[in-house]
């Protein structure tokens, strides 16, 4: 399989942060989104940003910007579908998604997802995290997604599907487990309190 392309999901409305682009908030001297770009870009064959609204506000990032093709903000799967359609135009086999508000995700995300999908019918896997020896929690915005299933996903979304794991379970997705080491690697910034915590973590770990 060709190297997956990367899709950063920034299509949410950030209602708990008061609106706007959460990824533009500053963490350790640069935006959260820049942290995400720097972690994902070395792991993929190309990178695109999924965001709704005026794409010109991201011109400084020098990344292509794609919007959801479905109205009414149907959730992260709409961003996945937009990424799959974009990847199909590039001749890619798969994409890996990462959330724009999650600055500490693993630097080996992509290879671990690829390993997790080896026994699946399609290159499809979700990340999961948890305490050592404890329950794992799936991270539905961090996954490996096959271009070959984009029409199946489009039909599911058109039929009202919104929950990621219902669709991934249907297709026997693999699971890449990441053990927490002091912090959850998929800690995301949803509220002002989360931003304060992320800044505390960054001061300790970076």
pTM score above 0.75: yes
3-state DSSP of 17-54 = HCCCCHHHCEECCEEHHHHHHHHHHHHCCCEEEECCCC
Q: Is 11 left (phi over 0), alpha (psi -120 to 50) or beta?
A: alpha
Per-residue model confidence (pLDDT) at position 2: 82
- Percentage of the chain lying above the pLDDT 90 cut: 68
Between CA 3 and CA 185 the distance in angstroms is 23
Between CA 123 and CA 1 the distance in angstroms is 9
Per-residue model confidence (pLDDT) at position 144: 98
**Residue 53 pLDDT level (bands cut at 50, 70, 90):** confident
- Looking at the predicted structure, is the pLDDT value of residue 154 above 80? yes
Q: Give the alpha-carbon dihedral of 138, 142, 144, 146, to 10 degrees.
A: 100
Per-residue model confidence (pLDDT) at position 102: 95
pLDDT tens digits along 157-175:
989 888 999 999 999 999 9
Per-residue model confidence (pLDDT) at position 17: 42
- Assess if CATH 3.90.550.10 describes domain 5-201: yes
Domain layout of the chain by residue ranges? 5-201
pLDDT tens digits along 101-133:
999 999 999 999 999 999 888 999 999 998 887
Identify which has the larger pLDDT, 188 or 20: 188
Spell out the alpha helix ranges (H) of 91-146. 109-116
Spell out the alpha helix ranges (H) of 53-191. 76-90, 109-116, 150-158, 164-170
């Amino acid at each position: 399989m060709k190297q997956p392309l990367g899709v950063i999901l920034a299509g949410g409305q950030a209602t708990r942060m008061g609106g706007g682009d959460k990824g533009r908030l500053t963490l350790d001297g640069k935006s959260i989104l820049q942290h995400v770009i720097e972690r994902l870009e070395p792991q993929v064959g190309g990178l695109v940003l999924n965001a709704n609204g005026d794409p010109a506000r991201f011109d400084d990032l020098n990344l292509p910007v794609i919007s959801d093709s479905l109205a009414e903000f149907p959730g992260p799967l709409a961003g996945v579908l937009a990424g799959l359609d974009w990847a199909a135009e590039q001749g890619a086999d798969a994409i890996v998604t990462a959330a724009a508000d999650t600055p500490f995700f693993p630097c080996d995300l992509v290879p671990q997802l690829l390993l997790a999908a080896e026994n699946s019918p399609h290159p499809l896997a979700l990340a999961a995290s948890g305490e050592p020896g404890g329950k794992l929690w799936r991270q539905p915005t961090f996954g490996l997604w096959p271009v070959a299933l984009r029409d199946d996903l489009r039909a599911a979304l058109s039929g009202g599907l919104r929950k990621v794991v219902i669709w991934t379970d249907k297709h026997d997705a693999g699971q890449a487990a990441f053990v927490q080491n002091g912090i959850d690697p998929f800690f995301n910034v949803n509220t002002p309190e989360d931003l304060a915590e992320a800044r505390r973590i960054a001061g300790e770990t970076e």
